[in-house]
Chain A
């Protein structure tokens, strides 16, 4: 019999809806953090470099678009996750099935949020270097863009795993 003040008891007593809600918040919030971080890193270099080389502005907006895509992934996953939330009767809230569903939505949110955070950062830093190199030598743009594409794939991995994770979140049915 566990002692009444163990951590495992405290964690198990937290409602699965809390975990789910926090997961959804992290999915969108941290993704947008990553996207914003990436955009300002790219944007400040792009503006400065475009003063001497105005031709780079239109092409290098692709870097900003890649960062923005990261935020869109976060929004999509948050919307998907919130459709997974279902109400269960009070007696079922702490049933193992409910806890499992709550935890999987939470985990999905963390996966997507943090994968998008680092993806946004990665694309942002590469986008900054891309803008500066393009200003000096325009043949470099396409080559560095390939690196950015690989970087943005990281966000996609996070989204895929997050969606798979939340797909198997099934709350117990209403009749116990």
Chain B
């Protein structure tokens, strides 16, 4: 019953909620980012990060640091925290926590399949996979030639199996099909996650609906913009949009027929929450769109922490951490390539 979660939530999940709120207090603040942006070399970055919670993970790295090492170690910290929480969680929180990682699983699957298509070595690809999305039989993905084999050999045992029913075709895998497969899988995953949250009810359902609806709408806009000028037909494009969110169904109808960015802007400006995002961009500019979406997402994720006794804080924390890792990667790359003037182009401050 919505409103009375406070009475029973703490029985199973009080400890973990307190832990995740403690982790949140360790996210980097604007002052940390300002320090990092002033760094001259990657070793300076390592020194600044050793004063934050990333210290123990970076201190043993030998001196010629690469940006990939920094990102890898920071991701390792996130994975350790996630595994600790997952091992302590009971149902339904454990299912919820697992749902959060299915997006990474989908990305890993697509990465390996694409890499195999381009004749890369499987081990090299496995190293590039996101650790949160690993599953046992992931290496055998390299053997599959088309989608049916992919499903039958590997994916039927994974949690992604139910998402495949919509995208099994007999066609061979090529770049276009793989992108469509990725988006179809992600659409099925988002809808499944949304239904799961609705079943949980209460504050979790309300907060997660808002966050997932924003995710669905953002993906719809990105799919539209990325498929302008490609061979993707309008119907195919419509099929990739999720069936929930602020844009469903009328916004999707209009987005499906958009042919350039200004038309997309025209569609989105009819929705007040997205009007503010698009108002920040001047006409014809689309590079800043990603950053504007990230900023809006971060704002909504921070709001999830305002309420107690729901599972949205776990999802919000994982997403905020991922945003922080993206920020660190951008700062490290700018510093490594000596382009510090562009640092503020893509860093989204969380606090």
Contact = CB atoms under 8 A, between A and B. Distances in A.
A175 B202 CA distance: 62
Contacts of A37: 7
Interface of B: 6-7, 10-11, 14-19, 21-23, 25-26, 308
A135 B22 contact: yes
> Chain A: interface secondary structure?
helix
A175 to B, nearest CB: 52
Interface of A: 37, 40-41, 44-49, 51-53, 121, 125, 128-129, 131-132, 135-136
Nearest to B24: A136
B14 A44 contact: yes
Given A48-B16, A128-B308, A132-B308, A40 B11 contact: yes
In the complex, which of the residues B6, B16, B23 has the most CB atoms of chain A within 10 Å of its own CB atom?
B6
Contact of B18 (A40, A45, A121, A125): A45
A49 B22 contact: yes
Contacts of A41: 6-7, 10, 14
Contacts of B11: 40, 44
Most central of A44, A131, A135 by chain B CB within 10 Å: A44
B6 A136 contact: no
Contacts of B7: 37, 41, 121, 125
Contacts of A52: 19, 22-23, 25-26
Contacts of B10: 40-41, 44-45, 128
Contacts of A132: 17-18, 21, 308
B6 A46 contact: no
Contacts of A135: 18, 21-22, 25
B6 A48 contact: no
B25 A136 contact: yes
B310 to A, nearest CB: 13
A22 to B, nearest CB: 25
